Amino acid sequence: MASVSGSSTNTNTRPSSADLTKQLKRHEVAIAELNNIPSSRAVYQRNANLFFRTTVQTATTMEQKQLESTKAKLKNLNSSS
């Protein structure tokens, strides 16, 4: 539920601005969803093709890290264009 992998069809090319924007939205939605779950509940976080049970706080932290990483990639892509 919490982790989202890249949706790029060709892994040899850099992701486009549209792909990165989609990833940003996905991470933002995931964080919003996680913020609405009680902290006592367990969630499942995707890692490759497996799901692992974790806490809401851990899943939120990982999503925020991925969001920041995606923002940095988008910023680098926009500055290099």
**What CA–CA distance (Å, rounded) separates 4 from 43?**
14
In sequence order, what are the beta bridge partners of 53? Answer: 44
Task: Give the number of other CB atoms < 10 A from CB of residue 76.
Answer: 12
Quote the distance between the C-alpha of residue 9 and its chain's center. 17
State the pTM of this model: 0.76
Report the candidate in 54, 79, 46, 77 with the shortest Cα–Cα distance to residue 24. Answer: 77
Residue-level pLDDT, tens digit, the chain, 81 residues: 555 555 444 555 778 889 999 999 999 999 999 999 999 999 999 989 999 999 999 999 999 999 999 999 999 988 886
Nearest-angstrom CA–CA distance, 56 and 5:
19
DSSP state of 22: H
